[in-house]
Structure 1
Amino acid sequence: MKLGQYIKRMEEPSFEELIAVIRPAFEIPFIKYGLDQYRHSGYYYNRNDYQNALDEGAIWFGAYDKGALIGCVSVLKKSDVKWRIGKLAVHPDFQHCGLGKSLLSEAERFVFNRGASKLSLSCLKDDADLVKFYESKGYLSDGQKVYKKTGFTIGFYVKKMHHLIDLVTNLADRYPVDPIVCDETLYLKDQILLIYHPDEVDKKTNTGHLLGRLLPEHVKEWIWHRNTVESFVDTLSEGFLNVLVYPSDDAYEVSEYVSNVDSRIRWIFIDATWQQSQKMLNQSPSLMALDKVRLSSDYISRYTLRKNQRAEGLCTLESASHVLGESGFDTLRTQLDSRLEDWLKTLSCK
């Protein structure tokens, strides 16, 4: 978004301000696809539709430019875990600037933090650009309906929310990095799983996203939610020994643990503040029950973008780097440390 633009929840949206965005936004496909017989087009959105949505509990988010509404989207709760996206629209004067993506991400974050595990929406199947947009954001086809009188086809799409991490706009992408390529990455059979607190996802100072781009073949990412974490842990693929990297009283030293197992290890890191991570574990019995390892207390963090809550605290990338180093991948640790240092310098200069 540009300077002066922002997104916020609309507390009491009026029909007049919404329709001033929705109708012109939908007029382009209305004309392009000849939708005068298609009553579900946003071009026909009326006061009754608006009132019915409010009566059902629809929540609206607006995109603003210097205080004026220029985009909107609604979310509607269908059950404890299912929500529906509606009337995503950006005024034509502000289209093709990423506002639609930002509005969709805001809606997704909102419902995710309220326990949603599935989002649904529908759109005109003939609108190839719109279908491509939703598919690029992780929405999968869930059937279609053909209106016999008009011949129009409506596509239905769903998105499972545990894939949200793959689609939320990552501010760190402003600073491109190339994956690490060295002999040790070819022999690395272990996997790294990053479990993010939702507050961490969009922080440009987050190093988990950087780690994921440096080792894309070995790092998986997921956003924690107390309503879905137990089922997620249960679905972790077999073939790995799941180990939580966390300094609890019953944690092993990394080198000691590695020397006593022959299995491929999935190293699980909680990407959150110390206070957040403690709450997450308290609400996640399956994570708490995993074997745990701790790092040596000799390491000193070089991460300066945020103040550590504990003197011995390390950022996520530093923690992963040291785990790999203590597992015998010294060259990989050196490269990760070097890339982190370069990245920190880049952000410090911005």
Structure 2
Amino acid sequence: MLFSPGQSFTYTANPGRVIFGHGTIAQLPDEIERLGLKRVLVLSTPFQRSEAEKLAQHIGEKAAGIFAGAVMHTPVNVTQDAVAVVNALGADGVVAIGGGSTTGLGKAIAVRTGLPQIVVPTTYAGSEMTPILGETSDGTKTTRSDPAILPEVVIYDVDLTLGLPPMLSGTSGINAIAHAAEALYAWDRNPVISLMALEGISALSGALPTINHNPSDRDARAAALYGAWLCGICLGAVGMALHHKLCHVIGGTFDLPHAETHTIILPHALAYNAPAIPEAWQQLQSVLGDDPALALHQLALKVGAPHGLGAIGMPEEGIDEATGRAFANPYWNPRPLEENPIRQLIARAWQGAPPAKD
């Protein structure tokens, strides 16, 4: 049992409507109508423009247009361009289809304009379940939380994830696991979120190897999307720690792909915190095995993830810069940050070496 009779906690449930299943995209027009929207702007990345066009056709006359300019880390200048399109077209809402980049753009538009947003995830990012927005300007990534950032409706359609390539499925899924892992030792953790965290980690860690072997396995895809939803709730409900701080610093500074960065850093950040989180470590053992940090490293290898930050574009000389930035405005963390161990953590992550507990 995750609840201790002597435990005190505060649990705040974020509002929002979730529709989950196969073929649920068919309900999008009804959801637009339910929100009273007349002209919605469809958002996507350039790569997913064809999906945005299909979505716009499905919506019909309520599609005001398409903005296919979403990119990772939600640059402020891209958001400004999108808001200009919103104003020019007279859009009264946005529909984001895709992963974290598109969801982030929808959130950034919503918090600036007050417009309602619907998200149709096609990855396992989990951002759609949070009131958190990370934005990049001049090479620096900052985050903020605001109820106005939270999407009004999320439509999970398992069928839309069937085309997600196996490696991207793996890194996206491990990125989601990171949200749940840190939720287990968050300063404001509670037993409700811990239940969701363990269920989400179990679902994803079981499904991702199957997806890597057979991407069209509908049961595994459903389990992964279910797990990602739960992990996203965790991210939106409690605070995060060292892992997310490092990913924001390193990803934003060196413009690295989001999911891959989280996948590579997670085992190392977890190993760093292991001495300070005995209860959470035991909980993770119940779903990942004796050494959860090593298990996540091995899971990344199984799904074909890149073998280190160096492999995704971070220069070796960036290790010292990332170490220094990790100590600027640090997140709360269960283990105090120590400069040499943090540098060693980043160096191992850069090399793609297995995690090591100091």
Higher Cα Rg: structure 1 or 2? 1
Q: Considering Cα pairs closer than 8 Å and 6+ residues apart, tell me whether 1 or 2 has the greater RCO.
A: 2
TM-score of the pair, normalised by structure 2: 0.29
Higher-helix-fraction structure: 2
TM-score of the pair, normalised by structure 1: 0.29
